A and B are shown apart, each in its own frame.
Chain A
């Protein structure tokens, strides 16, 4: 039965990881522009008509709306998000969607190249969808996910302790299981420490703070990965304990 459960877990892991990668690739595919916004319009360097410029801007808006739409789905379906974080992210996504939609209408109504170009830059500077909003949303979901797993382990640890205590196996085997449980507990404690305050540190980062708040995003990512690594080790310990007790 354990082998069956493990096989199911691996299969689910593979499918979920695949979905996660697919989502990542879709986001990346939307970030095709590779140049940075220029300081001012240069029609001589970019010989496009006002109509063509508006088309480009509309495409840029639609790409970002697609990314935000995908993010909204992640937020809605996430089982890990706290209710407060979910509400905050939903409000932010909704505000960005409404703002970008209104901005697109403004751009399409602009009568001069310079005004349209200037408004078009706001698609980036006013929202930072690809470099701030989108990664921030994924980080909050991941951080809340780590906290949820920490909670699951907090429930699991006393159950594993109970199984060890009540086991009729040899003292040697029980000692090995206890050592694994001690290691598991220390790893979960480390994870709790690493993830503490991470969601709160990034969830209200705003485009106005760019690029300075990029540091906060990268720091949060590092903490999430550290906590994730600790949880992976805790999972190995848990499986070892089960194998020992079920032998």
Chain B
């Protein structure tokens, strides 16, 4: 019985390590790693592993930064559009006057 308990704890510990490592490995800019292993706990660990979270939200900070970068680019575009509009609504005038 002791051996069984020890074995079970070892397995659960290993599962927890894998889950944590999986969360760290998930990087939003990496298209090649689409699955978030931390999002679903293995069936064998249900309700018995104190260190394994039941649900883990994806790490979205990298994507949030990309969206902020897009916002900056859009504001720059707005400046150029405004400048172009200025030229489209004016006239050259008479340079001799």
Task: Write the residues of chain A forming the contact surface with B, with a CB cutoff of 8 angstroms.
Answer: 1-2, 5-6, 8-10, 12-14, 16-17, 19-21, 23-25, 27-28, 31-38, 41, 46, 53, 56-57, 60-61, 74, 80, 117, 120-121, 123-124, 128-132, 134-136, 138-139, 141-142, 145-146, 148-149, 152-153, 155-156, 158-163, 165-169, 214, 217-218, 221, 224-225, 228, 231-232, 235, 238-239, 242, 245-247
Cβ distance B59 to chain A, nearest Cβ, rounded Å = 9
By secondary structure, the B interface counts as helix
Q: Are A156 and B75 in contact (CB under 8 A)?
A: no
Cβ distance B55 to chain A, nearest Cβ, rounded Å = 4
Q: Are B29 and A159 in contact (CB under 8 A)?
A: yes
Q: Are A12 and B88 in contact (CB under 8 A)?
A: no
| Chain B interface extent, by class | 35 or more
List 9 additional contacts besides A5-B64, A20-B79, A153-B70; criterion CB under 8 Å. Answer: A9-B72, A16-B79, A21-B82, A31-B93, A35-B93, A60-B95, A124-B95, A167-B36, A167-B58
Inter-chain CA distance A137–B48, complex, in Å, is: 65
Q: Does B77 contact A (CB under 8 A)?
A: yes
Cβ distance B9 to chain A, nearest Cβ, rounded Å = 25
Q: Does B66 contact A (CB under 8 A)?
A: yes
Q: Are A27 and B83 in contact (CB under 8 A)?
A: yes
| Interface residues as binary, B52-96 with A (CB distance below 8 Å gives 1, 0 otherwise) | 000111101101111111111111111111111111101111111
| B95 interface neighbour in A12, A56, A158, A167, Cβ under 8 Å | A56
Once A20-B82, A142-B81, A152-B66 are accepted as A-B contacts, the answer to whether A166 and B35 lie under 8 Å apart by CB is yes
By secondary structure, the A interface counts as helix
| B92 interface neighbour in A1, A56, A117, A128, Cβ under 8 Å | A128
Across-interface contacts of A129 in B (CB, < 8 A): 92
Cβ distance A109 to chain B, nearest Cβ, rounded Å = 16
Q: Are A242 and B67 in contact (CB under 8 A)?
A: yes
Inter-chain CA distance A225–B36, complex, in Å, is: 38
Smallest CB gap from B54: residue in A: A168
Inter-chain CA distance A153–B63, complex, in Å, is: 11
Inter-chain CA distance A155–B56, complex, in Å, is: 24
Q: Does B47 contact A (CB under 8 A)?
A: no
Selected A-B contacts with CB under 8 Å, 18 pairs: A9-B68, A12-B72, A13-B74, A14-B75, A17-B75, A24-B82, A33-B92, A34-B93, A74-B80, A134-B83, A135-B84, A148-B73, A165-B34, A168-B57, A218-B88, A231-B74, A242-B67, A246-B60
Inter-chain CA distance A148–B80, complex, in Å, is: 14
Across-interface contacts of A53 in B (CB, < 8 A): 96
Across-interface contacts of B76 in A (CB, < 8 A): 16, 20, 80, 145
Inter-chain CA distance A245–B61, complex, in Å, is: 11
Cβ distance B42 to chain A, nearest Cβ, rounded Å = 13
Cβ distance B74 to chain A, nearest Cβ, rounded Å = 6
Smallest CB gap from B59: residue in A: A163
Q: Are A33 and B97 in contact (CB under 8 A)?
A: yes
Which 9 interchain pairs have the tightest Cβ spacing?
Answer: A20-B79, A33-B93, A135-B87, A60-B95, A166-B36, A142-B80, A168-B39, A9-B68, A138-B84
Cβ distance A177 to chain B, nearest Cβ, rounded Å = 11
